[in-house]
Each structure stands twice: as structure tokens, then as C-alpha cells.
Structure 1
Amino acid sequence: MGSEEYLLDNRAAEAGGRFDALSVIFDPVTFRHVDALGIAPGWRCWEVGAGGPSVPDGLAARVGSTGQVVATDIEIGWLADRVGAGVEVARHDVVRDAPPGDGFDLVHARLVLLHVPEREKALRRMAAALRPGGWLLVEDYDISLQTMICPDAHGPDQLLANKVKDGFRSLLSERGVDAEFGRRLPRLLRQVGLLDVSADAYFPLAMPAVGALERANIVQVRDGLVGRGFVTDTEVDAYLALIGAGRLDLATGPLVSAAGRSG
């Protein structure tokens, strides 16, 4: 996936705020799963589409000096200067490029594959990069399971928020995002030959970091929202003011975390 196809380009000024918010919201979920898989010193890990530094750094702390963490992305300019010394950063296209190593004990991707048009091909490449007994952990939204930014839509402010979010979802759909990808992950992991597949879903609601994430996203795609006629500039300004005032109980789509083991 080239950056021109990605609605939330990592080169934009808002990327740092988005990565910080995603870390606060989802790192506890990610590392609950990583730790349950038994990560230990000496493991070799590949973080696919790393974006920010928090997950690669957390993996590096767990595998220690005898392990390896490779963090890859299409665009690495933002990441390369921020990860710790225990992380190797490489520019990489998960669909087109060979895996960046000789086999991994853990391959992880969070909020990556739903944006990749050839997502099932990428999933096969990631599974093929596992060593025997290695684990693939994929975490992605299922946007269609919960479409509203304000599930408790009890007044005009919440209805405005949901209107803006509807426009945002339309922009994502135009870029080929799979709004139902999360629910398919267990089946897809089995189809690529993985064993002991399991999954769960996490649904954050009324967390301040969700507001920070939403603000970063909407500021970044504002021109697209207004230009396509989904909302007006006045409505965007009103929505951003509501977020800043902390007057909305905001949610994300459920994050499905699915893991499977190589035989």
C-alpha cells in the first residue's frame, strides 16, 4: 500500500498525536495478548506497519539483548528517530517485499491490514514468516460492528458527532478500507494454516484519549470531509470544539485481536 492510498498518511503533522492516542488506548490490549502468548527473552519479533514507537519498544523490552525486534512500515521517517536502540527499523511493503528476516517467533500488526487492499496476500506473507511454533497476532477494527462515534446519541451534539463520523467512514470506504475485516480474522488465520486460533474484541468508550485520536483524525481529513460535501466547515469547527470541551462520550470501533500459531 502506497502512502497516497492511505487516508491517514504518517507524514502528516497530525500523525504524532494519533500515534500517542493509539498507544494510550490500545497498548494495554496489545501487550495483554503478547504476554499471554508467552513472549520471552531471545524471541525474534516483526512489527508490521509500526507507525509509532510504543509497540516496538515494548517488544524490545520483553525480548532483551538476546532477542530481535524489526519494525517496518511504508513510511519510516516519523518512526526511525523515535524508537529505542533495541529496535531495527526498515522501509518495507508487506504485500510486495520479502519478509525482513529468516523467521520470527512473533509477527504483529495493529490497525494495518484493513487499510491494505491486498490484505489477505499480506496475511499469508506474515504467516509464512513465522518459525515453527511462532505466533501471528493481528489486531484490526471491525467498524461495522459499532459505527457511531457517540453510541449514546441523546442530543444534537452527539448527532453532529455521528454525522461527521459517517463522512469519515465514507472517506475510508473510498480508499478501500474493509469495514468488516475484524470479524473475519479468526477464519482467515485458520485459512493460512495457523493453529490454536483465538480472538476477542475491545470496545473503548468515554476515554479522553479517544477524543485526542478523533481530533487528530478529523483535522487531518477535514479538507476531504468538507470538499466531498459530507459536512460544512462550521460543523467541523463545532465538532472539534465539543471534543476540546470534553462534552462527548466518544468510542472507537471494536478492536478485534486474533492470534494463531504456526505448526
Structure 2
Amino acid sequence: MTAHDPDRGYLLDNRQAEAGVRFGALAELFDPVTFRHVDRLGITAGMRCWEVGAGGPSVAAGLAARVGTGGTVVATDIDVSWAQGIADDVVEVLRHDVAADPPPAGGFDLVHARLVLVHVTDRAEALRRMVQALRPGGVLLLEDADPGLQPLLCPDESGPEQRLANRLRSGFRELMAARGADLAYGRTLPRLLRGAGLEDVQADAYFPITSPACTVLEAATVQQIRGQLVAAGLATDEEIDRHLANVGTGLLDLATAPLVSAWGRRRP
């Protein structure tokens, strides 16, 4: 997703150059988790899938490989610039606001959103529209962060470099919350899916520590938000430069917020 109003919406604007780097790092970190669930849920040839808030191309491409030429993947986002390159006979790319626009027509065997709803102001309406888009027996798979469960960039806060990293991560969370992000949203997903009438609801959570992709993700994220951190008085340019140098050594044991994956099935 992306935000055109600088005071509202998604903090990490997809129009910035670092967005592509972030999408690549997120794919390396979380695509194995996403597709473990997708494959367990039985998404196979001929099915129709809706990838909500697609951002980068990796999930839509992976779904397309599973549904094949007899299936369809509709990839939507407010800013579709990063996904345009995958549009073909299987993948349709649409500019779409999940909380404001009607669901794409046709009904879906799978609706999936990763790291999307935590940033959407009207999360309840977005969820309602995604459930509405399911075919009977279709599955909704939601994956969202829960920074409140594990708020630290460096869980092993062993020195000044780690303390600075955690202070900047706290500033990042403050900026997200100011834009309407729910930092405890991930843990609510099972309850919300049951409340939406879905059956067979299950969930799990995952967060990596010390992956090289965590280092890439942190550097790109801080570069994207450094102006906001400085403007809000949450960090100085000198502190940000020092943190980026520390990250660049590859010696910090960086983590992410837990990714909570929850899924449920619409009644047949």
C-alpha cells in the first residue's frame, strides 16, 4: 500500500526507491511462511486467488505458478507500480483500495493479504470485503505483524549499538501508531476471522533473528523514514548515520516483529 497524504496512511511509501529493496527482503523473509500455508490449504491448478495489497511481485507470481494457466490471480494495491511486470494471462494487476472499493468480481478460492491490514485505517471494512469475496469453501489467509508482542529490533540488547537500534525501532513504532497502525493487530486475527463467520480457524506466528534479509530490510526501512524520524525529534541525523553504519557491519542480531498467520474457511 501507499500513502499520498503525508500525514495519514502507510508510512512506507511504495513510490520511494527503497520500496523495491524492502519488498525483496520481505519476500526472502516471509515467502516461505506464506507458501507453507498456501500449499497446506490446497491451493492448486485452476483456482482463483486474490492477492490484496500485493506491493512486490513475489506472492502473486508464486500463486500463479500454483494455479497455472487454468487459474487466475488478481493482484491489487493502491500503488501497483512494483507488480506491473508480472501481469500476463494468469495474473491481472488492478489499482484498488481494499477498504473502499468493491472486491474484484468473480469470487475467489483464496484471498490473501500480508502486512496490509495493520496499516489500513478501516480494517474492519477491509476484512468484511475480503470475506465477501470468498467463494463457498474459499479460504481467507491473513498475515500481519504484531510489534507489541516483540517490540525490539535487537532482542539481545547487549551494548550501545543494540540500545540505539531499539530506540530507533521505538521511534518507528511511534510514527506508525501516529498514522493509525494497530501495533497489536496480529494477535487479534483468529478472533476476527471467527467473528466474520469463518470456520476451521487456525493461526501461528514466526519471526526471524539474524537473517541477512533482516539487515537489508532494516537499512532500507530506516533510509525511507529518516526524514520523519528527524522531523518528529525521535532521532538525529548523526544517530541515524551511526545506526546504519552499525547495521552495515552485519554484526547486530536483528529481528522483526512476529508475523501472525491466521486462516479460516467460508462455509461451503
User: Distance in 2 between the 1:96 and 1:174 partners?
Assistant: 21
Does 2:209 align with 1:176? no
Q: Which runs of 5+ in 1 are unaligned?
A: none
Alignment correspondent of 1:155: 159
Instruction: Tell me the alpha carbon deviations over residues 129-179 of structure 1, each in whole angstroms, 9 at most, x when there is no partner.
Output: 000000000000011000000000011110010011111110001000000
The offset of 1:78, in angstroms, is 2.2
Q: In 2 relative to 1, CA 24–191 (structure 1 residues): closer, same or farther, beyond 3 Å?
A: same
User: Distance in 2 between the 1:44 and 1:223 partners?
Assistant: 41
Alignment correspondent of 1:91: 95
* 2:79 pairs with one of 54, 64, 75: 75
Alignment correspondent of 1:49: 53
The offset of 1:86, in angstroms, is 2.7
User: Distance in 1 between the 2:72 and 2:32 partners?
Assistant: 21
Q: Which runs of 5+ in 2 are unaligned?
A: none
Alignment correspondent of 1:208: 212
The offset of 1:81, in angstroms, is 2.5
Equivalent residues of 2:156, 2:162 under 8 A apart: yes
**What is the number of equivalent residue pairs in this alignment?**
263
Instruction: Tell me the alpha carbon deviations over residues 66-110 of structure 1, each in whole angstroms, 9 at most, x when there is no partner.
Output: 000000000112221355653110000101111112200000000
The letter of the residue matching 2:23 is F
Alignment correspondent of 1:254: 258
Q: Secondary structure at the match of 2:264?
A: strand
User: Distance in 2 between the 1:154 and 1:42 partners?
Assistant: 51
User: Distance in 2 between the 1:151 and 1:93 partners?
Assistant: 35
User: Distance in 2 between the 1:82 and 1:66 partners?
Assistant: 17
Give the structure-1-normalised TM-score: 0.98
Give the structure-2-normalised TM-score: 0.96
Alignment correspondent of 2:131: 127
User: Distance in 1 between the 2:123 and 2:2 partners?
Assistant: 13
Instruction: Tell me the alpha carbon deviations over residues 212-263 of structure 1, each in whole angstroms, 9 at most, x when there is no partner.
Output: 1111111000001011111111110011011111020000010000000000
Alignment correspondent of 1:186: 190
Q: Secondary structure at the match of 1:145?
A: coil
Q: What is the root-mean-square deviation in Å for CA atoms of aligned residues?
A: 1.1
Structure 1 runs of 4+ aligned residues shifted over 6 Å read none
User: Distance in 2 between the 1:235 and 1:84 partners?
Assistant: 45
Equivalent residues of 1:12, 1:220 under 8 A apart: yes
Instruction: Tell me the alpha carbon deviations over residues 48-75 of structure 1, each in whole angstroms, 9 at most, x when there is no partner.
Output: 0000000000000000000000000001
% identity of equivalent residues: 62
Alignment correspondent of 1:65: 69
Equivalent residues of 1:57, 1:83 under 8 A apart: no
The letter of the residue matching 2:240 is V
Q: Secondary structure at the match of 2:83?
A: helix
The offset of 1:128, in angstroms, is 0.8
User: Distance in 2 between the 1:75 and 1:166 partners?
Assistant: 27
User: Distance in 1 between the 2:98 and 2:137 partners?
Assistant: 21
